[in-house]
């Protein structure tokens, strides 16, 4: 099979039929062998009924149903798990991403042997203040942290070599950083392609303005994980040693000055009246805490329990 088209969706009943027909048109025009995987992320409208109808008329439509809303990342994760096509395309269900981009994305992955081609909505049809501007800043931060020259990390329209989606773990809200997750997993042939973008035709955006705060916090997490995820002791142990060293020097200073004063029989303040005493105390305690954190982090890493993050309640054609 050439293509898997993975579409996460939450309450997109109005867009679904149009989206499906459009994708089908493109698939037929280029005679692709394909599957379309809809992941219904806990919709409360008629999205699932529509998908059920599509799946009965076309067995190449596969679907996963979440009973509740687990988030776009979890939906993508579930879709990636069952995808079988040589090239996996992800796209949003709201008709903002244009299915006519698919053939070119496919070509880029197969001909140029790329790992990921990430869409770039250069001309964007979203609200300027609430979305376009914050998104520019957000992408700037992501570029710096990731060391990837991408303009639009969070574009829903992307293409992947099958191997890539099988080896990245999209969790939490990390769908914003899939290129970085892939880079960290060793898939570095990442390119960008300008894609056409449409204004949302039906329904409304599912992400509020908290997306940017969450996005930046996730960026810090991902930076930390990619730098110290495999050896947290290198960070915490390092900080611990540094703190301990400062504490030790302070204590040494107190001790030496005490001895000096005693020896020369100079009137001296009590140790607890010396500010260095508190510096030594605090810093050594913090140093110890850093060390303990490092040990605990290493232990957690070793136990590495795989916990279930979402429950699939039904599937179709799969």
Contact residues for ligand UDP (CB under 6 A)?
8-10, 12, 41, 69, 71-72, 75, 92-94, 96, 156, 205-207
The gap between the terminal CA atoms of the chain, to the nearest Å, is: 15
Q: Are 117 and 193 in contact (CB under 8 A)?
A: yes
Scanning 8-16, 71-79, 93-101, 242-250 for contacts with Mg ion by CB under 5 A, the matching segment is 93-101
Residue 15 touching Mg ion (CB under 5 A): no
Distance, CA of 170 to CA of 178 (rounded, Å):
7
Measured from the CB of residue 154, what is the shortest distance to ligand UDP in angstroms? 7
Please identify, among the stretches 39-47, 96-104, 190-198, 231-239, the one whose residues bind Mg ion according to the rule CB under 5 A. 96-104
Residue among 3 and 7 whose Cβ is closer to ligand UDP: 7
**Alpha-helix runs per DSSP H in 58-117:** 72-82, 102-111
Q: What gap in Å lies between CA 80 and CA 87, rounded to an integer?
A: 11
Q: Which is nearer to ligand UDP, 155 or 243 (CB)?
A: 155
Q: 173 with 215: CB under 8 angstroms?
A: yes
Is residue 41 near Mg ion by the rule CB under 5 A?
Answer: no
Task: Determine the 3-state secondary structure of 181 from DSSP.
Answer: helix
DSSP state of 197: B
Q: Which is nearer to ligand UDP, 120 or 236 (CB)?
A: 120
Half-sphere exposure of 99 (CA within 13 A, CB side): 24
Query: Out of 15, 40, 90, 96, which residue is the one contacting Mg ion (CB under 5 A)?
Result: 96
Q: Least Å distance between CB 64 and Mg ion?
A: 20
Shorter beta-carbon distance to Mg ion: residue 92 or 152: 92
Question: Where is 16: in which H helix or E strand?
Answer: helix 16-29
Q: Which is nearer to Mg ion, 114 or 195 (CB)?
A: 195
Report in angstroms how near the CB of residue 177 gets to Mg ion at its nearest: 18
Spatial distance between the Cα atoms of 144 and 150, rounded to a whole number of angstroms: 10
> What is the smallest separation between the CB atom of 41 and ligand UDP, expressed in angstroms?
4
């Amino acid at each position: 099979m050439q293509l898997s088209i993975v579409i996460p969706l939450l309450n997109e009943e109005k867009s679904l039929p149009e989206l499906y027909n459009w994708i089908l048109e493109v698939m037929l025009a280029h005679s692709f062998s394909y599957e379309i995987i809809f992941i219904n992320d806990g919709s409360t409208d008629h999205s699932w009924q529509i998908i059920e109808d599509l799946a009965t008329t076309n067995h190449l439509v596969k679907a996963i149903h979440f009973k509740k809303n687990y988030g776009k990342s979890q939906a993508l994760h579930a879709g990636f798990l069952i995808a079988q096509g040589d090239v996996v395309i992800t796209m949003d269900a709201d008709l903002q991403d244009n299915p006519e981009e698919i053939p070119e994305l496919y070509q880029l992955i197969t001909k140029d042997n790329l790992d990921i081609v990430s869409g770039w909505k250069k001309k964007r049809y979203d609200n300027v203040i609430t979305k376009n501007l914050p998104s520019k800043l957000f992408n700037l931060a992501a570029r710096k942290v990731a060391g990837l020259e991408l303009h639009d990390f969070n574009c829903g329209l992307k293409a992947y070599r099958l191997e890539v989606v099988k080896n990245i773990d999209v969790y939490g809200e990390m769908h914003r950083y899939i290129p970085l997750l892939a880079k960290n997993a060793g898939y570095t042939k990442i390119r960008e392609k300008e894609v056409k973008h449409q204004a949302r035709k039906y329904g409304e955006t599912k992400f509020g303005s908290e997306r940017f705060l969450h996005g930046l916090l996730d960026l810090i997490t991902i930076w930390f994980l990619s730098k110290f995820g495999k050896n947290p002791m290198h960070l915490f142990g390092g900080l611990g040693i540094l703190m301990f060293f400062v504490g030790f020097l302070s204590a040494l200073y107190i001790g030496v000055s005490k001895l000096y004063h005693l020896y020369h029989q100079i009137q001296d303040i009590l140790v607890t009246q010396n500010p260095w005493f508190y510096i030594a105390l605090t810093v050594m305690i913090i140093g110890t805490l850093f060390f303990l954190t490092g040990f605990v982090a290493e232990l957690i890493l070793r136990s590495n329990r795989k916990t279930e993050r979402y429950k699939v309640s039904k599937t179709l054609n799969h």
